[in-house]
Structure 1
């Protein structure tokens, strides 16, 4: 009898214990996830941003973590200036590039449709005049070819990921971007060398003067049919020259700091020079489009100056009359030696 009573009490006690512990177990199961999450207790980005916004307005305070290495910059968790840089690089830069480059292309197309090709008014004379030496043309094409590759590879950094993967696939885009980066880094050096030679060769001919004001006032032969006098370089060409020298110099300086960020002045300096490099690049690309237009389809006889080095005499008289007179004076002072009779 006692043993049967004991057999009935034991299951009742177990059942009562389970019923009392069931709410606690259920509550514990609700509090703990079914799988282990090693980052569940870590700080989320949203909390960091809220802490950043809660700081003193306008101070630009950087959120820091704890580190055990000497480099204090490694403790930066969020840098407000980095957020601003990303906004400019991924937003405003695209608008600057689109307005500058596409806007210039639209203007050139409209100008060609309205003005057409600028012809040699008196026709081709057949007499050739040396305008640029072989060395001058070599320097020009070294700078030009480097700039074309630098411009395309630079635009790939800013805009490539939004266009090329959809057209050619991510694998092709990745391979192209890698080689474009190598080309951009190494071709910067011959580009800078060519800029230095270009400055030394032509700076004396590109000093602005009163004659340039008259050239601009009369439209420079581009607007209308009037051809104001000009020396070796007219006001328009002087503008291109200084745009290349100043813009190329800015690209060279900022590019140096991007290649060697140790000298850029920290993260903030690198972000600053990155924006300067991008803006200078797209603006110079737009200027070069205008230069290419005038030197090719925009003006008859202009392309020969940088291909064969010689131009037609009538073209030279119409666009650089004072330079032609200067060359005639030089020829009269230093006549060619007579050739011996055979």
Structure 2
């Protein structure tokens, strides 16, 4: 009986202890599971916050050196890329094709501006040898930059899909190489052009009439045969000169910013330079096409000026009468022997 009583007493003492330990271990396990779940939730929230900050362009910490080394994703860079791809690249294609097609249509409808009195055969000095050199170095370098720039900007859309990867890689690499090394030649010729020709490019009141009658190039309607007064440079040439001066400055500065890695510019500055460079190029391309059409196809006898430096006397009287009168009066009129 005593032994049976002792067993009962032991059971009564041990059973609550076991129950207590069991409940305690269960509580600990549940608490541990809750803590792990909370840590996982916090980790997910932390990761989400991290990548949200990265995508927003927030700065972090890195051992890398240099400008913006602590920024993984630059928001301005992505936005600039979207502007370039969605707006500037199509605008460049439109500038090339649109302006060219417009002038082709105009030529077939209107025809060239003929010399009313025919060629006189007497050639008047208009440009010096130095002027010719400046013009052609500027023209060739500008056209080279235009062609390579078009390849760089739009080639991915109009060339790459139709050629092999090897051909495309070689083409884009060559375009980039030529573009970078022809750039300084263009800048040098552009500086000489601006400095030497600026005194001849001031706008006068009579230039307004030139615009009103489209320079006398219209061969039909009330504008036919209307040749407005013009000095050494007509209003259209002056507009082309000042466009080249202003946007040539923009394109030169932005180009230098893009090709000199030693400047170590912030991404925002580099992207702004790229957008300014592309926008300026689009404007220069459009005006260059107009200039070439006007000088070669639409103006009979106009191309000779930049080949030999001389123009036919009839051409001078018809297109630049005030300049011709001036050189006759001051004794600087010089004919070709």
Q: Which TM-score band (shorter chain)?
A: 0.7 to 0.9
1:74 to partner: Cα distance: 2.0
Q: Secondary structure at the match of 1:75?
A: coil
Matches within 5 A, 1:228-247: 228-247=228-247
Contact 2:137 2:189 in 1 (8 A): yes
1:100 to partner: Cα distance: 2.3
Q: Secondary structure at the match of 1:293?
A: helix
- Deviation digits for residues 199-238 of structure 1, max 9, x if unmatched? 1221111001112112222332123211111111010110
Q: Which residue of 2 aligns with 1:25?
A: none
1:248 to partner: Cα distance: 1.2
Mapped pair 1:184 → 2:183: no
Cα 1:72/1:140, change in 2 over 3 Å:
closer
Q: Secondary structure at the match of 1:139?
A: helix
1:335 to partner: Cα distance: 9.0
Q: Distance in 2 between matches of 1:168 and 1:308?
A: 41
1:191 to partner: Cα distance: 0.7
Contact 2:124 2:334 in 1 (8 A): no
Mapped pair 1:148 → 2:156: no
Q: Which residue of 2 aligns with 1:11?
A: none
Contact 1:64 1:78 in 2 (8 A): no
Contact 1:149 1:184 in 2 (8 A): yes
Q: Which residue of 1 aligns with 2:326?
A: 326
Q: Distance in 2 between matches of 1:48 and 1:279?
A: 37
1:278 to partner: Cα distance: 0.6
Mapped pair 1:172 → 2:167: yes
Mapped pair 1:271 → 2:271: yes
- Deviation digits for residues 138-186 of structure 1, max 9, x if unmatched? 1000001001111111111111122223333221221122222221111
Structure 1: 5+ residue stretches without partners? 1-42, 337-342
Q: Secondary structure at the match of 2:159?
A: helix
Q: Secondary structure at the match of 2:300?
A: coil
Q: Distance in 1 between matches of 2:157 and 2:90?
A: 14
1:259 to partner: Cα distance: 1.4
Higher relative contact order (CA 8 A, sep 6+): 2
Q: Which residue of 2 aligns with 1:18?
A: none
> Normalised by the size of structure 2, how large is the TM-score?
0.78
- Deviation digits for residues 67-93 of structure 1, max 9, x if unmatched? 224547223222221221121122211
Q: Which residue of 1 aligns with 2:57?
A: 62
Cα 1:248/1:255, change in 2 over 3 Å:
same
Give the structure with higher Rg (CA).
2
- Deviation digits for residues 272-312 of structure 1, max 9, x if unmatched? 01000011102111110000001111111000010111111
Give every structure 1 segment of 4 or more consecutive aligned residues whose post-TM-superposition deviation is greater than 4 Å: 46-50
Matches within 5 A, 1:55-204: 61-71=56-66, 73-204=68-199
Q: Distance in 2 between matches of 1:99 and 1:191?
A: 24
Q: Distance in 1 between matches of 2:334 and 2:85?
A: 61
Cα 1:181/1:70, change in 2 over 3 Å:
closer
Work out the number of aligned pairs and report it.
Answer: 286
1:121 to partner: Cα distance: 0.7
Contact 2:190 2:248 in 1 (8 A): yes
